Amino acid sequence: MSTTQSDRLRGLLEPLVSAQDLDLEEIEVSRAGRRRVLRVIVDSEDGVELDTCAELSRSISETLDETDAMGDDEYVLEVSSPGADRPLTEHRHYVRATGRLARLTLAEGGELVARILGVDDEGLDLEVPGVKGRKPTSRRVAFDEIARARVEIEFNRKDKKEEEA
């Protein structure tokens, strides 16, 4: 997708997404055979419900039909929330991942798996799980020390609501 098309789509879609109290995470146009696919990824502090995606999809479709932003070629519109394995790239992603286990690839090399306890403008406060019965340790990592980060899926972790009960 060209930068001008990307900027134009972002300009058209951002107000529609914001009106639903969502963040526009990503816009991607790709080819699927003869058709193009427009993927719009949205998120919020509380996640995104399926009904919200459907409503937003209708709104985006109407807006795109009124403009020539996608040209005359056929395209398929997909509106969804980011997957569980999406990379953490923005400050808000880290904030939303507070309490979750994350895998960090450090800029200096090496990897760290730790629970995000807190996030501020400079970096993360982490709890590194203890190994072989040892107690967990605290660690501070600045954002500029992180090359890549991703939430780790935990199948046996209790829900926050269960922990508070």
pTM here is 0.71
98 close to 91: Cβ distance less than 8 angstroms: no
Q: In angstroms, rounded to a whole number, what is the distance separating the alpha carbons of residues 24 and 16?
A: 9
Lowest-pLDDT range, 46-60, 102-116, 129-143, 147-161?
A: 147-161
d(CA 130, CA 136): 4
Query: How confident is the model over 50-106, as pLDDT tens digits?
Result: 999 999 999 999 999 898 888 777 889 999 988 777 889 899 899 989 999 999 999
